Amino acid sequence: MQPVNMSHQPWSMAGRIALIYFIFSLFWIYVGDRLLLSVFETPALLTRWQTIKGALFVLFSAILIYVLMNRALQSLRRKQSQAQRLADMTRHSPVVSICWKNAAGWPVSFVSDNVRQWGYTAEEFQNGTLAYENLIHPDDLPRIEAEVAEYVSHGPDSYQQQYRLRHGDGHWLWLEDRTWLVRDKQGNVTDIYGVLVDISKEKQLLEELQIGQANYKRLFEANPHPMWVYDLDNLAFLAVNDTAVARYGYSREEFLAMTIRDIRPPEDIDKLEENITSVTNGLDHAGIWRHITKNGRLISVEIVSHTLTFEGRRAEVVLTHDVTKRIEAEKALIERNAELERYHKLSIGREEQMIALKCQINALSERLKETPPYDLSFAEVNGKEQSS
């Protein structure tokens, strides 16, 4: 990177005016005298025209000076107006402009007035009341000093740093310092220019995001139910938790080389792919599906999923709950109930046959004029209740 050359400065406004006036004067005197000498031979006429020439010189000089000064003043007013607008913009901007000298303690030669937002005044920095390095957090200062020393010695001349700066009320701000170095012809750094931006809110949000990600990762890894993340485009596993590894029998490496098709029965693949095409953002209760473990065992799982962006990919995080035993128990209960219903119907049929036989014996006894041996009044009552 080429060093910034500060020795070459543009000519000042006064210097340009003086140069133009000097050139104009030489031209007027030399050319005017040569012209008068060639035209007028008598001293009287020559003296008269030299007087006229002098008067014209004064007039044209005044006009020239007026034009040059007017243009210069207009340019100065424009620059002053631009400077004022820039100052007003800076005063209302969160970005603080600053210039340090390349010396011990980084003395501040200029800082914008909006440094007041951090509890300080520009005068406190510029008169030496405040030393900038004393405001940098003690844990950050050694790193900042080492980095600046490296940049000053070897470049680059434009760089960024982040560190904490003490606010006037005592709390700490996170700043992003965008800096560039100014060098002389010999390559020595003379000044350090910077713009400082308060990034405390961004840092806080980043910290909260990192905490949230850590909590999510712990929730994912330590969840007692199998969980995984898969790519919605190619259905590849992107991440699996320890419970999935333990329950399904595949190693983490094996999982990450597979797709979610590989843990489904072949006859369920079409239904799976049809379900994937209808995935929408948010939470999805996908219902009960069949999965196959590494040892070939078929299990039933209840699936809840949620879409997310994982490492830049459109993905879905899945939680599965093994309901195989529950389904088997429900199936066994249904079968048992059916069996009991059959037994119940069979027992009712036998009881009805027994009652009919007893009725026949009672009727025969009555014809033989004997006392009927069976009391069937309960059967009559039940019959009436059933008929009613």
Q: Are residues 179 and 244 in the same domain?
A: no
One domain, residues 288 and 255: yes
Quick: pLDDT tens for 121-154: 999 999 989 999 999 999 999 999 999 999 999 9
Structural domain boundaries, residue 294: 223-322
CATH of the domain at 242: 3.30.450.20
φ/ψ of residue 176, rounded to 5: -105, 120
Is the Cβ–Cβ distance between 295 and 249 less than 8 Å? Answer: yes
Contact 177, 156 (CB under 8 A): no
Query: Does residue 262 sit in the same domain as residue 317?
Result: yes
Counted domains in the chain: 4
User: Which of 283, 298, 322 represents a domain boundary (last residue)?
Assistant: 322
According to DSSP, the residues that pair with 135 across neighbouring strands are none
Regarding whether 348 and 290 lie in a shared domain, the answer is no
What is the reported pLDDT for 178?
93
Task: Tell me the three state secondary structure of residue 263.
Answer: helix
Query: Are 331 and 369 within one domain?
Result: yes
Q: Are residues 282 and 350 in the same domain?
A: no
235 with 211: CB under 8 angstroms? no
pLDDT of amino acid 6? 41
Has residue 89 been placed in a domain? no
- The answer as to whether 217 is a domain residue is no
Task: Report how far residue 34's alpha carbon sits from residue 116's, in angstroms, rounded to the nearest whole number.
Answer: 67
HSE-up (13 A, CA, CB side) for residue 188: 6
CB atoms inside a 10 Å sphere around CB 245: 17
Residue 387 has pLDDT above 60, yes or no: no
What token pair was written down for 8?
A: 């070459």
In the chain, the percentage of residues whose pLDDT exceeds 70 is 88
HSE (side-chain half, CA atoms, 13 Å) at 61: 17
Amino acid code (one letter) for 224: P
Model confidence pLDDT, tens digit, residues 258-310:
999 999 999 999 999 999 988 888 888 889 999 999 999 999 999 999 999 99
- Verify that 56 and 112 share a domain, yes or no: no
